[in-house]
Amino acid sequence: MKTPVRLGAFGLGLAALFGGAYAVAANVVPDGAVDQRLEDTDTEHDMDMGTETDMEDHGGHEADPVRGLSIEQDGYVLSEVAAPAEVGAEGVLSFGITAPDGEPLKQYTESHEKDLHLIVVRADGAEFRHVHPEFDGETWSLPWSWDQPGAYRVFADFVPGDT
């Protein structure tokens, strides 16, 4: 069999295969199923931006590269995060930051109008909060309640001050 004939047969076979798959899908998948799935996906990815996003203050400039602290970066360590154990329970979210010398970091340089930005994101991205906790000299804290169950990641964005 010559090459052009083989390629032509292969192309016809592919066309028949995809045409058959389309015909089966058209008869099996109910009308509107794709539209419903797209609506469900949009709903799943809506984000709860929390109450302290202040997004109007951050618009109009190019985004900085992703920075921040996730457990450890450049010798700075995010201490154990304490937070309410149950969804809906009122409590306090608190943590500290240890400097490369092992001592608590006590000096911060203001960045984007705050000393520290705390980002809390559910692992699937469905929940998101950008908040600004208060610093008491060693520990950062703020009133906290979990809106939804799940695994969360905590990122602290800050600029160390002169120590």
Please report, for the domain that includes residue 74, its CATH number.
Answer: 2.60.40
Q: Does residue 145 share a domain with residue 65?
A: yes
1 or 82, higher pLDDT: 82
Q: Does residue 59 share a domain with residue 40?
A: no
Angle, CA 159 vertex, CA 55 and CA 140 arms, to 5°: 75
Q: Does residue 115 share a domain with residue 74?
A: yes
Q: Does residue 93 share a domain with residue 64?
A: yes
Domain of residue 35 covers 3-44
Nearest CA to 113 out of 58, 156, 65, 64 is that of 58
Angle, CA 75 vertex, CA 69 and CA 79 arms, to 5°: 55
Residue 86 scores a pLDDT above 60: yes
27 or 82, higher pLDDT: 82
Has residue 133 been placed in a domain? Answer: yes
pLDDT computed for residue 31 by the predictor: 75
pLDDT tens digits for range 137-163: 989 999 999 999 999 989 899 999 875
Q: Does residue 63 share a domain with residue 35?
A: no
Has residue 141 been placed in a domain? Answer: yes
Could you tell me if 86 and 146 are in contact, meaning their C-beta atoms sit under 8 angstroms apart? Answer: yes
Q: Does residue 149 share a domain with residue 75?
A: yes
Query: Structure pTM?
Result: 0.56
Has residue 50 been placed in a domain? Answer: no
| Tally of helices (H runs) and strands (E runs) in the chain | 2, 10
**Strand 116-122 and strand 152-160: pairing?**
antiparallel
**How many domains does the chain contain in total?**
2
pLDDT tens digits for range 92-130: 999 999 999 999 999 999 999 999 999 999 999 999 999
**Stretch (H or E) spanning 80:** none
Q: Does residue 80 share a domain with residue 119?
A: yes
Q: Does residue 59 share a domain with residue 38?
A: no
